[in-house]
Structure 1
Amino acid sequence: MARSGTAFPEVTLAIIAGGQGRRLSGVPKGLLVAEGRTVLERLLVLASRFGDVLLVANAPEPYARFGLRTVADVVPGKGAPGGVHAALVAARTPWVMAVACDMPFIAPEVPGVLLDGADEDVDAVCFEVGGRLEPLLAVYRSALASAWGEALAVNPSMRELLSRVRTRLLPEDVLRAVDPTLRSLANVNTPEDLERYGVALPSR
C-alpha cells in the first residue's frame, strides 16, 4: 500500500472493545493500565497515522471521555467476528486495521508491516505465529462488510472467515523483524495475564 509520508490516510484504525472483561470482574479491558496509561490511550498513540479512528464497543459509556466515534456490533453475540464486521460496516475508508483493546504493547512498526501486505489482490492481511492466526491485529478490506455479515449467520470462526477471502498470512519472522519478543501479541484477559504483563486494574 502506498503511504503518504508515515500516515495511512486510506485506513481506519478500529479498536475492538466488544463487551466487558468477564474474567476481570467486568472491568472494560481498554481501561486496564499498562506502564502508566490505559490500554486505549496506548493504542491511540497509533491513531495520528490513520485516516480515521473507530471504537467498536457494545458498552460505550466507560469510554465516553475519549470522544471517539463509537459503534456497537451490527450482529450481536458473534464475538470477534461480529466486532470486525461492525468496524467494516462503519468504516469510511477502503481499509480497516483491527486491533483488540486488550493488546497494550503493539510495536509502532507493526501497522506498516501489515499494510505493506495490503494490495489490490488481497482482502485481508494477518500474522500467523506458531500455527495461530492473529485476526485482531490485522488489516481488512472494508468492502468485505456485506459478505462477512452474511457469513455470521452460521457462527463461523475467524479462521474460517479468513479462509473464505483472499488472505495474506505473514509469517512469524516478519513480525520478529520489528518486534523480536513478539510483545505486540500480548493480550490481557485473565488475572494471571495482569501479573504476567505488569498490567493493573483501573482505580475506582
Structure 2
Amino acid sequence: MKNLFILAGGKSKRLGFDKLYLKISNQSVIQLIDKSIGGLFDKKFIVVKNGHIEFEGFEVIKDKVNIDAPVAGVLTSLMVTRTNKNFIIACDMPFVKKELVEYMLSFDGYDAVVPYYNGYFEPLFCVYTKTFLEKALDFINKDIFSLSTILQNSNVKKIELDEILRFDPFLESFRNINTQSDLEEANERFRRSLSNQV
C-alpha cells in the first residue's frame, strides 16, 4: 500500500492567494500532479490548513498540528495514514516526473527517501514512512520545526543528483511556484510542452 499526500498549505504572501487554487492553463496544479503520479497510489489525500476544496479521487483533511511550518502537513499526513510508504509533495510543483517518484518508492527500510543535491534536501518531495513520525515529534517537543534538520538526524536514503538526473535531467520536478513570475513561467513551460507533443 502506498499513499499520496498533497500539502496545500495556506495563503501565499507573494502570490496573494492560497496555493490550493493554483492553475496552469486552466488546470489546477493538483490536477496536474494527479495526472502525472496519482496512478501510483492506493489512496490520495489533500492536506489543507484552511479553506475548502473537493477533488475527485481525493480525501481532504485539515492540519491536525497547530504549527505554522511545512512540518505540520507532514505530521498530519503521517498521523492519518495507515500505510508505511507515503509520498508527500507540495501543491505548487506541477512538473513532477513519474519515473523519479517510482524510483523513490522502490526503497525500503528507511525513515524517509528524499532528493538531496547542492547540499539541500527536498523535504516536500519525499517518501516518508511511519517511523519518521516518532522522530519528528521528538524534535517538535524541543521546538525544532525544520524538516531538513529532522531529516539530517533520521535514517534517510538520499537520492543524489546523479540518480535524480537519470529520471529528470532538467530538475523540473522541483520547480515550484512562489511568485507571479514563477506562475507565468510555468504557464509558458506548460504551453511549450503541449506544442512539442503535437
Whole-angstrom CA distance in 2 between matches of 1:184 and 1:176: 11
Give structure 2 stretches of 5+ with no counterpart: 189-198
Which amino acid is 2:125 matched to? L
Partner in structure 1 of residue 89 of structure 2: 99
Which amino acid is 1:86 matched to? T
Deviation at 1:16, TM superposition (A): 0.8
Whole-angstrom CA distance in 2 between matches of 1:108 and 1:13: 13
Whole-angstrom CA distance in 1 between matches of 2:102 and 2:23: 25
Q: Is 2:38 the counterpart of 1:34? A: no
Partner in structure 2 of residue 158 of structure 1: 147
Report the TM-score, using the length of structure 1 for normalisation.
Answer: 0.84
Whole-angstrom CA distance in 2 between matches of 1:74 and 1:147: 17
SS at match of 1:22: coil
Whole-angstrom CA distance in 2 between matches of 1:146 and 1:123: 10
Deviation at 1:35, TM superposition (A): 4.0
Deviation at 1:104, TM superposition (A): 0.4
Deviation at 1:54, TM superposition (A): 1.2
Partner in structure 2 of residue 51 of structure 1: 42
Q: Is 2:191 the counterpart of 1:191? A: no
Q: Is 2:93 the counterpart of 1:108? A: no
Q: CA RMSD in A?
A: 1.7
Whole-angstrom CA distance in 2 between matches of 1:150 and 1:108: 32
Per-residue CA deviation, residues 88-110 of structure 1 (Å, 9 max, x unaligned), is: 11112111100110000001112
Give structure 1 stretches of 5+ with no counterpart: 1-9, 200-204
Deviation at 1:60, TM superposition (A): 3.9
Partner in structure 2 of residue 21 of structure 1: 12
Partner in structure 1 of residue 119 of structure 2: 131
SS at match of 1:16: strand
Distance 1:65 1:111, change over 3 A: closer
The percentage of aligned residue pairs carrying the same residue is: 27
Contact residue 60 and residue 70 of structure 1 kept, 8 A = no
Whole-angstrom CA distance in 2 between matches of 1:144 and 1:131: 21
Deviation at 1:144, TM superposition (A): 2.5
Deviation at 1:25, TM superposition (A): 1.2
Contact residue 115 and residue 122 of structure 2 kept, 8 A = yes
Which amino acid is 2:124 matched to? L
Deviation at 1:67, TM superposition (A): 5.9
Contact residue 40 and residue 102 of structure 2 kept, 8 A = no
Deviation at 1:115, TM superposition (A): 1.3
Contact residue 16 and residue 98 of structure 1 kept, 8 A = yes
Distance 1:35 1:181, change over 3 A: farther
SS at match of 1:24: coil
Partner in structure 2 of residue 77 of structure 1: 67
Q: Going by fraction, where is strand more abundant, 1 or 2?
A: 1
Partner in structure 2 of residue 147 of structure 1: 135
Contact residue 114 and residue 125 of structure 2 kept, 8 A = yes
